[in-house]
A and B are shown apart, each in its own frame.
Chain A
């Protein structure tokens, strides 16, 4: 089955700097890669996702890149702000709509943005 690894487990950056979180996956059939953000006391919330037919996707200060050959994908946050402090989860699945394919989550990265 699919296995998703995520690094680093903790990350501290100064406000205004960039943060990068990297994930690898094992199943070459995976083609859907969402990223979730979990703030303290809340459940995870989708912030961006990417499909395998796209190499990069941006949404304001966040971007995700995908390298299908190497089976890794990354989350990039630019101009970090204190409200970006949270736990970030990457995930992977084969993304089929006609059958259930589990979304397999990575173990999470705890990001701290220092003012």
Chain B
């Protein structure tokens, strides 16, 4: 148990659906991250929030929309996804943003787009 929870753990959605992924951290951290993990590829950073402000948007398509209402919660809103968006989506948090701070990862949401 890392102190970072993600729901749902599995999600199957059609290309025309709208769904949201939720992440919650119970560590009192100030920074939160969304990563995409595809088979045989490195972890891809998608978004970074520090104190609820987005500090990084790594050229992610607009069909992915993040939301950080407070420092404990992070959402990823999904709409009109493509099959190639099927992947494991990982949320992480760290004490503050910046590389030296250990990132604590949640278990991920396994997303399948049909």
Contact = CB atoms under 8 A, between A and B. Distances in A.
A93 B41 CA distance: 18
| Contact residues on A (Cβ < 8 Å of other chain), bracket | 20 to 34
Residues of B contacting A: mostly: loop
Interface residues of B, number: 27
Interface in B56-112: 56, 58, 90, 92, 96-108
Contact of B43 (A44, A98, A99): A44
B42 A108 contact: yes
B4 interface: yes
Nearest to A46: B102
A4 B99 contact: no
Contact of A96 (B92, B98, B105): B98
Residues of A contacting B: mostly: loop
Contacts, number: 67
Contacts of B97: 100
A95 B104 CA distance: 17
Interface of B: 2, 4, 40-43, 45, 48, 50, 55-56, 58, 90, 92, 96-108
Q: Which 10 A-B pairs have the closest CB atoms?
A: A43-B105, A93-B99, A105-B43, A95-B99, A105-B42, A101-B99, A46-B102, A107-B42, A97-B98, A95-B100
